[in-house]
């Protein structure tokens, strides 16, 4: 290469580098703007978030509508119409709300979205859960539009409220609405979890909550008397039994036999007993009642009926004067009587499409997982629509709901490329020869 040629080469390389730095700066600045909107419970600023999303949609020429299933809880629905709108559509879901913060425990203010220039970490509530994903969808669309890509299938984006408080006024009402039915959704993408390893995680199901309260009753008595069937003694026997079951589940995870989402988790969340006195509790009286509460999470691959028998026979048996009630009990079975999960075998082409698309974008993938807690994805799966939980964050500690939640800017930018690859693949996908889209039955 001549001197002039070398000079030209360096100049072009520098120009390209500068252009991409400027582009990345504006991508990051839009992410920061979204993170700076305080949508933390109990008083999320939903309208400000809605205005921001709608302004983004306008800049991308996406159709937008605001739906309030419940007053002041706007759901923003965006649409990029495909060349064949009769094909089942793609729905990219994300929630706009975030969990509360304890600002004094953060190293950076949680709604400043400051970038730490030493390591490139963006600190903010919602940086992982899940404002990242919501904006990555939009940035991927921006790149596809710049590249003049035209989707065959229609792509929808829903920005929903209230996920962090159960999703009842958000995704649940949306999934059960006529609006949703008319969208003819073939596949939903929703949130996943960060991965501390170098691979991404994909979720095909989630555990169902069973919030159990057990109650023991027994004859009250003097604190000095030893006798059978006291409420405290009966409750302790149950707690011991629950503890053994819990240990057996945890042992399987520790031994590497099962993943966290594949076992039943049981955690005691309260204990209530004793006779209150002005200075604490009456110390010479054995109480006649004692209660304990447990947060139980059941994977859809587990035998929920046998767990219920265990509860009735071992954890709260009538033979020990015990009763129980569920504060919440979600069945692992959908309306069709089958476990609520999305297939990840060859019966579900979306699964291999997403895996191939991630690999094409030079990402690695772990094995399919069950999400350990709950997300809005369950409402779509309950409707019989396949839903994949995915948040493109590898090499990232899991900090959702934690102090100092952050996402590295390089991971964020990489995630946009991954979504670009996924959307290209999903939006161009044509089902086999019979022209029918069988996916909605393939759960």
Torsion of CA 31, 32, 37, 41, to 10 degrees: 80
309: phi then psi, degrees, rounded to nearest 5: -65, -40
Both tokens of residue 273?
């007993």
Look up 410 and say whether it is catalytic. Answer: no
260 is in an annotated binding site: no
Tokens encoding 48: 């400000």
Catalytic: which of 139, 163, 169, 172? 163
**How near is the Cβ of 375 to Zn ion at its closest, in Å?**
6
With respect to Zn ion, which residue has the nearer C-beta, 151 or 415?
A: 415
Site residue total, Zn ion (CB under 5 A): 3
Is residue 164 part of an annotated ligand binding site? yes
162 touching Zn ion, by CB under 5 A: no
Nearer residue to Zn ion within complex by CB, 191 or 420: 191
410 annotated to a ligand binding site: no
What gap in Å lies between CA 37 and CA 32, rounded to an integer? 9
* Residues sharing a CB contact under 8 Å with residue 101, sequence separation 6 or more, in sequence order: 40, 110, 111, 125, 403
Beta-carbon-side half-sphere exposure of residue 115 (alpha carbons within 13 Å)? 14
Distance CA 38, CA 258 (A): 38
DSSP conformation letters of 126-174:
TTTTTHHHHHHHHHHHHHHHHTT---SS-EEEEEES-GGGTSIIIIIHH
Nearer to Zn ion, 214 or 388 (CB): 388
To the nearest whole angstrom, how small is the minimum distance from the Cβ of residue 406 to Zn ion?
15
Nearer to Zn ion, 130 or 388 (CB): 130
Mark 15-54 with x for binding to Zn ion (rule: CB under 5 A) and - for no binding. Answer: ----------------------------------------
Nearest distance in Å: CB 211, Zn ion: 20
What tokens does 352 get? 């291999």
The residue sitting closest to Zn ion, measured at its beta carbon, is 129
401 is in an annotated binding site: yes
Interface of this chain with Zn ion, residues 178 to 207, rule: CB under 5 A: 191
C-alpha angle with apex 149: 144 to 152, nearest 5 degrees? 115
Structure tokens at 357: 């698309």
The answer to whether residue 97 is catalytic is yes
Closer to Zn ion by CB, 195 or 217: give it.
Answer: 195
Q: Which of residues 100-159 bind Zn ion (CB under 5 A)?
A: 129-130
First-last CA distance in the chain: 59
- The answer on whether 197 is annotated among ligand-binding residues is no
Contact set for Zn ion, span 313-352 (CB under 5 A)? none
Binding mask 368-407 for Zn ion (x = CB under 5 A): ----------------------------------------
In the bound state with Zn ion, the residue whose beta carbon lies nearer, of 235 and 377, is: 377
* CA dihedral of residues 420, 424, 427, 433 (deg, nearest 10): -150
Rounded least distance, CB 130 to Zn ion, Å? 4
**Nearest Cα to Cα of residue 332 among 297, 369, 384:** 297
Q: In the complex, what is the shortest distance from the CB of residue 334 to Zn ion, in angstroms, rounded to a whole number?
A: 22
Active-site residue (options: 97, 139, 162, 376):
97
Q: Which two tokens stand for residue 172?
A: 């649940």
What is the tally of helices (H) and strands (E) in the chain?
A: 10, 21
Residues annotated in the binding site for Zn(2+), as ranges? Answer: 95, 129, 164, 191, 401
Catalytic residues: 97, 163
Residues annotated in the binding site, as ranges? Answer: 95, 129, 164, 191, 401
User: What are the residues binding Zn ion (CB under 5 A)?
Assistant: 129-130, 191
């Amino acid at each position: 290469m001549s001197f002039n040629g070398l000079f030209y080469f360096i100049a072009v390389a520098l120009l390209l580098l500068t252009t991409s730095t400027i582009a990345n700066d504006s991508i990051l600045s839009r992410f920061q703007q979204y993170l700076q909107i305080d949508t933390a419970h109990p008083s999320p600023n939903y309208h400000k978030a809605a205005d921001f999303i709608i302004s983004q949609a306008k800049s991308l020429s996406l159709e937008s509508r605001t739906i309030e299933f419940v007053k002041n809880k706007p759901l923003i629905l965006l649409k990029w119409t495909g060349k064949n709108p009769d094909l089942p559509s793609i729905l990219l879901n994300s929630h706009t709300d975030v969990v509360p913060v304890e600002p004094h425990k953060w190293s950076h203010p949680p709604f400043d979205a400051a970038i730490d220039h030493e390591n490139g970490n963006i600190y903010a509530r919602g940086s992982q859960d899940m404002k990242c994903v919501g904006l990555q969808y939009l940035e991927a669309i921006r790149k596809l539009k710049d590249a003049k890509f035209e989707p065959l299938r229609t792509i929808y984006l829903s920005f929903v409220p209230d996920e962090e408080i159960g999703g009842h006024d958000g995704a649940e009402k949306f999934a059960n609405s006529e609006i949703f039915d008319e969208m003819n959704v073939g596949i939903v993408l929703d949130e996943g979890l960060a991965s501390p390893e170098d691979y991404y995680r994909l979720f095909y199901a989630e555990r169902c909550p069973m919030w159990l309260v057990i109650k023991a009753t027994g004859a009250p008595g003097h604190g000095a008397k030893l006798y059978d069937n006291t409420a405290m003694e009966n409750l302790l026997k149950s707690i011991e039994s629950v503890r053994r079951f819990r240990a057996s589940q945890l042992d399987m995870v520790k031994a590497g036999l099962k993943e966290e989402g594949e076992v039943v988790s049981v955690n005691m969340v309260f204990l209530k007993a004793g006779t209150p006195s002005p200075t604490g509790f009456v110390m010479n009286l054995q109480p006649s009642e004692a209660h304990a509460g447990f947060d139980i999470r059941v994977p859809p691959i587990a035998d929920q009926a046998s767990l219920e028998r265990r509860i009735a026979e071992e954890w709260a048996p009538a033979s020990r004067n015990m009763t129980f009630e569920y504060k919440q009990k979600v069945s692992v079975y959908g309306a069709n009587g089958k476990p609520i999960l999305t297939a990840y075998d060859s019966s579900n082409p979306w699964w291999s499409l997403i895996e191939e698309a991630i690999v094409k974008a030079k990402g690695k993938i772990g094995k399919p997982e069950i999400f350990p807690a709950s997300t809005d994805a369950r409402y779509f799966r309950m409707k019989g629509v396949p839903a994949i939980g995915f948040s493109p964050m590898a090499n990232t500690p899991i900090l959702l709901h934690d102090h100092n939640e952050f996402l590295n800017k390089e991971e964020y930018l990489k995630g946009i490329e991954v979504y670009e690859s996924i959307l290209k693949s999903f939006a161009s996908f044509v089902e086999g020869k019979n022209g029918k889209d069988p996916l909605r039955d393939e759960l």
